[in-house]
């Protein structure tokens, strides 16, 4: 038996396109950056292939879109759903801080190597190297704070999708957010603590997919591969 058919609600994770800080790996939380021209192209290419009537993300099946209120994510939303053939009504779109990027605090704009070097100079991390999943960010968020806001988002999404697990109504949801917070979201979707090792990658402009096994709200899952819809 298949774990999923077309009626099972899905959650699509859309990472924003490239920014100048994405290119060199600087920690980007609250800093407002535009997409680069390449970042716009990344999102536009994803949209052309995957977003639209009869495509993987079919606007007719999307009941809610949650967008981080940073400039780069709002631009990404615009390029994902800005096609003239796509109609997304205002009431389906929510800007929410609950899915904004991890607050990096004192580490904003730094590279991981710079953070580790600074902490070493101050005599920190003598037994274990700094790990954001476990240690959080000085002057920013802890893993527990991130967990609480993501769990709040997940609860909202499950309330939306719970009545429609067998296709009673289309109930797909889209998140437009950031690289690290979306990986955190996957862990919490599956019920894992943030510091549990689970190596994941999500390219700028990419789409990830979550859903449920056997139409069961109590069996959240993620796709390691999914066939793409095609027109007959």
**Binding-site positions for substrate:** 28-29, 72, 101-104
Residue whose C-alpha is closest to residue 210's, from 231, 191, 195, 197: 191
Residues with Cβ within 8 Å of 172's Cβ and at least 6 positions away in sequence, in order, are 9, 10, 11, 12, 57, 58, 61, 62, 63
Q: Is 101 a catalytic residue?
A: yes
165-183 in b/e form (b: 16+ CB < 10 A) is beeeeebbbbbbbbbbbbb
Q: How far, in Å, CA of 58 to CA of 81, rounded?
A: 10
- Which is catalytic among the residues 18, 101, 108, 141? 101
Tell me the binding residues.
28-29, 72, 101-104
Q: Is 79 a catalytic residue?
A: no
- Active-site positions read 16, 101
């Amino acid at each position: 038996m298949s774990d999923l058919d077309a009626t099972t609600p899905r959650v699509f994770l859309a990472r924003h396109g490239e920014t100048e800080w994405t290119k060199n790996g600087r920690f980007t939380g609250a800093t407002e950056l535009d997409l680069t021209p390449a970042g716009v192209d990344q999102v536009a290419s994803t949209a052309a292939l995957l977003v639209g009537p009869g495509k993987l993300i079919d606007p007719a099946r999307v009941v809610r879109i949650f967008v981080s209120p940073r400039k780069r994510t709002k631009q990404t939303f615009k390029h994902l759903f800005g096609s003239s053939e796509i109609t997304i009504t205002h009431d389906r779109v929510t800007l929410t801080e609950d899915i904004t990027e991890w607050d990096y605090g004192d580490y904003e704009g730094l590279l991981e190597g710079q953070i580790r070097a600074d902490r070493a100079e101050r005599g920190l991390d003598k037994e274990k190297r700094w790990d954001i999943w476990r240690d959080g960010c000085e002057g920013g968020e802890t893993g527990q704070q991130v967990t609480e806001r993501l769990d709040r988002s997940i609860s909202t999404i499950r309330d939306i999708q719970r009545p429609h697990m067998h296709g009673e109504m289309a109930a797909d949801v889209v998140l437009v957010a950031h690289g690290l917070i979306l990986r955190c979201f996957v862990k919490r979707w599956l019920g894992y603590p943030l510091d549990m090792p689970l190596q994941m990658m999500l390219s700028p402009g990419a789409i990830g997919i979550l859903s449920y096994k056997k139409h069961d709200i109590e069996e959240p899952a993620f796709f390691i591969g999914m066939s793409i819809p095609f027109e007959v």
